[in-house]
Structure 1
Amino acid sequence: MMTEATAKDKGLIIDILTQSFQDNQSVNYLIPPDGRRLNRIRALMDYSYETCKLFGKVYLSDDKKGCALVSFPERKKTTLKSLLLEVKLILNGIGFGNISKAISREKAISKNYPADPIYYLWFIGVRPDSQNNGVGKQLMRDLVAESERMKRPIYLETSTVKNLPWYKKFGLDVYNQLDFGYNLFLIRNGQ
């Protein structure tokens, strides 16, 4: 089972996501390939965590080996805090040179969302030493159940081809594919 994360879980969640996504094409598309790469990925995960705390939910598996960041895009508002988070992301994460790349990619992806509210699974990750032990499977089951209770379809993206069959097991299918110099698969359920 998953539980909603508390402020004391933030460091653990950022660690799990940084470890899980350090070799991810979609994440590294926005991260400058410099000596600060891992710190920049941490900054991206910090931004994602804080954004989901404001406009969604952050979950941790009961064994604290996996986590998920969920966003409800229609709730997102521009506030002083959200602007400060974006500035921090630019300074510590993506850098000034990748701002237009990030905005263009976001625009291309979000064009594919319906007008109705969605359950956007931004990140799901399991500590690398705990993968393939059912942690992610249980998290995903819980996320699907919650999205069904909320009557919202799940939307997500992945650049990891080997994850496509895994998502399919939960009733999620690729509905579009975008090319950013790597393939980004847009996935949803209930359509």
Structure 2
Amino acid sequence: MSKLTKSDKPLFVSLMSSAFAQDPLFLHLFGDSERDSKARSHATAFVSFMFEKSFLLHEEVWGYFENERLLGAYVVEKPHANMLRTLKGVLLPGRLILLLFQTSGKTLNLLKSYISVTRSAAPPFPHHYLIMIGVKPEEQGKEIGKALLKHLLDAVNKAKKSQGVALDTENERNINWYRNLGFTLSKETQIGQLPVYCMFYQKQQLLR
């Protein structure tokens, strides 16, 4: 497992754009990127934004490589610090303006609603937040996603300032997969016609 750098952006964007092509949230926000070039352009712009954002805020991007091929990756937000909240307020609006020109105002409003709903479901104590996790479609079923998530959980279990991991999924079939790795369903809600399942992993207390 390797932490991604800015030079890995093309690999990340290609990976996540394909991994999320049929994701319910991406279909809801952008349309079918496998059939519509405009939807594909918007989805790619969003993934690119998410990667750049990770280097501005308190986030990390980790990848699963095989023979220099990026087969899977995840983006995680670590527990916030006051200084980073200030940084977010100063630097993020410029990136949002750029994203606005590459997507639509409607999409950004949907994203705003999604963030508001999901973050309100997150626990009030310090925790990590799994923003994205994806595996190349042709590599799925090989436990790469499991390896990525276990890497994150191992780090969280050792982190002194975090009590666990929150995540949100719009795909009902993902619920049992996360449950098998220690997550519980904390809230089930909906944004328009889009179901949203909010889950949380309570960190294990390491034995001294």
Q: TM-score, normalised by structure 2?
A: 0.83
The one-letter code sitting in structure 1 at the alignment partner of 2:63 is L
Q: Note the 1:94-109 alignment, pairs <5 A.
A: 95-109=104-118
2:199 paired residue among 184, 187, 191: 187
Cα distance in 1 between the residues matched to 2:71 and 2:9: 13
User: What's the CA shift for 1:148?
Assistant: 1.2
C-alpha change, 1:73 and 1:41, in structure 2 (3 Å) is farther
Q: 2:130 corresponds to which residue?
A: 121
Which residue of 1 is the match for residue 62 of structure 2? 59
Structure 1 residue aligned with 2:97: 87
Unaligned runs of 5+ in 2: 204-208
Task: Kindly tell me the number of residue pairs found equivalent between the two proteins.
Answer: 188
Alignment CA distance shift 1:21-1:190 (3 Å)? same
CA distance in 2, matches of 1:189, 1:15: 29
What stretches of structure 1 of length at least 5 have no aligned partner?
Answer: none
Deviations 1:79-119 (A, max 9, x none): 23x112111222213x1123332222211111112332221
Contact 1:144 / 1:170 at 8 angstroms: preserved in 2? no
My pick for the range that moved more, 110-119 or 168-177, is 110-119
The residue number in structure 1 matching 2:30 is 31
When Rg is computed on C-alpha atoms for both structures, the one with the higher figure is 2
Partner SS, residue 133 of structure 1: coil
Instruction: Tell me the distance in 2 between the aligned counterparts of 1:113 and 1:15.
Output: 29
Give the partner amino acid of 1:154. V
In structure 1, the residue corresponding to 2:133 is in which secondary structure?
A: strand
Within 2, Cα distance between the matches of 1:71 and 1:31?
A: 24
> Structure 1 vs Structure 2: percent identity of aligned residues?
21
Which position in structure 1 is the counterpart of 2:206? none
AA partner of residue 62 (structure 1): F
- Paired AA for residue 201 in structure 2: N
Q: Distance in 2 between the 1:182 and 1:104 partners?
A: 12
After superposition, give the CA deviation of every residue in 1:123-160 in whole Å (9 maximum; x if it has no partner): 10011111111211111110111111114211111111
Residues of 1 paired with 2:105 and 2:117: CA distance?
Answer: 20
Look up the SS of the partner of 1:116 in the other structure.
coil
Q: Deviations over 1:151-171 (max 9, x none)?
A: 421111111111111111210
